[in-house]
């Protein structure tokens, strides 16, 4: 036990900001929709979920632009982002937003790109729209906190990390970044508390 405590104390001195944004993945949340979609879109979603991204992309591109849904544009953007064609991905996410201005996933993914490009103000604007249209979106608040960290606005970062924690209590990176935030505010005791909690969660994940 003493050995573990020493490791925690050493880590406290080495804490760095961890602002890895969470991106929508190829799971059921990504591939299903509450509204009816045409067979082409449905088939593309199945292909995308099976990681057949080139086939999904070709299928969606075969649709006329005016017939594409916001989800179609989002998937095209995700595929282009997977291929590291970032400028084209941004275009697709903006097309999704133009199709449905309240589509929180498109705002979120656009913010994800801006954050990775070290454009925290632009990222912040998109993440705030994401939580505006989906108030229970924990990852949106988490990444608002990350954007504020990059801007060195630690009070606002801390507020949003706590908001994310209230909505999703089992995400380790929230605790890690809270530890970092408290450290940057010279609150070493609170920093160590959340770093300890982070390490305990990571230990449980490894079991």
List of residues 6+ apart from 140 with CB closer than 8 A: 104, 108, 127, 130, 131, 134
Looking at per-residue confidence, does 84 or 24 come out higher?
84
Q: Are 75 and 56 in contact (CB under 8 A)?
A: yes
C-alpha separations of 37 from 68, 121, 157, 192, 203 in Å: 10, 35, 38, 49, 42
Residue 112 has pLDDT above 60, yes or no: yes
Task: Name the CA radius of gyration of the chain, rounded.
Answer: 19
pLDDT 10s digits, 178-204: 999 999 999 999 999 999 999 999 988
**What is the model's pTM?**
0.84
Residue 30 has pLDDT above 50, yes or no: no
C-alpha separations of 123 from 27, 88, 100, 111, 201 in Å: 24, 17, 19, 4, 28
**CB 184: neighbour CB atoms within 10 A?**
16
């Amino acid at each position: 036990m003493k050995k573990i405590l020493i490791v925690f104390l050493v880590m406290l001195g080495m804490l760095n900001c961890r602002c890895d944004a969470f991106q929508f993945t190829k799971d059921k949340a990504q591939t299903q929709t509450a509204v009816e979609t045409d067979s082409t879109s449905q088939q593309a979603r199945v292909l995308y979920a099976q990681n057949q991204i080139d086939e999904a992309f070709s299928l969606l591109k075969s649709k006329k632009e005016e017939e594409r849904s916001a989800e179609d544009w989002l998937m095209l953007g995700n595929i282009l982002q997977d291929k590291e064609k970032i400028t084209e991905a941004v275009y697709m996410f903006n097309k999704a937003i133009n199709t449905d201005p309240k589509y929180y996933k498109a705002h979120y993914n656009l913010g994800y790109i801006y954050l990775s490009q070290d454009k925290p103000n632009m990222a912040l604007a998109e993440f705030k729209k994401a939580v505006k249209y989906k108030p229970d979106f924990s990852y949106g608040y988490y990444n608002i906190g990350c954007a504020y960290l990059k801007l060195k606005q630690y009070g606002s970062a801390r507020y949003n990390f706590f908001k994310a924690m209230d909505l999703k209590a089992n995400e380790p990176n929230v605790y890690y970044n809270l530890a970092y935030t408290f450290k940057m505010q010279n609150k070493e005791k609170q920093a160590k508390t959340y770093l300890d909690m982070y390490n305990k969660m990571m230990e449980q994940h490894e079991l």
